[in-house]
């Protein structure tokens, strides 16, 4: 796969460094008129990368920019992270396979100790990257 060319003329907008996670997935529920739905059947998505401000993942179902979600993100290091999020961008140019859509969301509200868990996940991902 070709490396993406780094664009130095485009300013970085992220508040927090993105980190890659292996064996990480999430499930989601959509926000309805008054509350969040039950988790969507077949809503398990493959996480590509995340930061303390959002997550990028692959999913089966199409999503719309602006859509509100409740996420439950699971990784091998500790308890799941729960957060409310908003879809910021979508891309359906995904290689053939189970997942048809790439989605980027911004966390809008952390549930419980999610912020601290994300910080610990970021540290563990950095340790794993250094270890090679």
Region 122-128 average pLDDT: 80
Query: What integer pLDDT is reported at residue 38 of this predicted model?
Result: 59
pLDDT digit string, tens, across residues 72-120: 888 876 778 899 999 999 988 777 777 788 999 999 999 999 888 888 8
Number of domains in the chain: 1
Model pLDDT, residue 15: 58
pLDDT in tens, 16-75: 566 566 678 888 888 765 555 555 555 678 888 888 889 999 888 888 999 999 998 888
What CATH number should be reported for the domain holding residue 53? 2.40.10.220
Could you tell me if residue 3 is inside a domain? no
Q: What pLDDT was estimated at residue 74?
A: 86
* Domain contains 11: no
Q: Does a structural domain hold residue 4?
A: no
Residue with the bigger pLDDT between 121 and 4: it is: 121
Structural domain range at position 36: 19-131
What is the predicted pLDDT for the residue at 41? 52
CA atoms within 13 A on the CB side of 129: 10
Is 62 part of any domain?
yes
Q: What is the DSSP string of the chain?
A: -PPPPP-TTS----SS--EE-SS-EEEEEEB-SSSBPSPPTT--EEEEEEETTEEEEEESS---TT-EEEEEEE-SSSS-EEEEEEEEEEE----SSS--EEEEEEEEEE-TTHHHHHHHHHHHHHHHHHH-
Q: How high is the pLDDT of residue 12?
A: 47
Supply the pLDDT for residue 40: 52
Where residue 11 falls among pLDDT bands split at 50, 70, 90? Answer: very low
Tell me if 118 is assigned to some domain. yes
* 54 class by beta-carbon count within 10 Å (0-12 exposed, 13-18 middle, 19+ buried): buried
């Amino acid at each position: 796969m070709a490396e993406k060319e780094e664009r130095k003329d485009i300013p970085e907008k992220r508040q927090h460094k993105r980190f890659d996670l292996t064996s990480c997935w999430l499930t989601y529920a959509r926000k309805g008129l008054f509350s969040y739905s039950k988790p969507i059947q077949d809503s398990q998505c493959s996480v590509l990368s995340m930061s303390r401000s959002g997550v990028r993942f692959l999913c089966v179902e199409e999503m719309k920019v602006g859509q509100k979600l409740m996420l439950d993100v699971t990784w091998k290091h500790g308890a799941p992270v729960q957060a409310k999020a908003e879809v910021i961008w979508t891309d359906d140019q995904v290689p053939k396979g189970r997942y048809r859509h790439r989605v980027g969301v911004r966390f809008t509200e952390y549930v419980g100790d999610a912020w601290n868990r994300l910080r610990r996940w970021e540290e563990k991902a950095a340790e794993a990257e250094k270890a090679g």
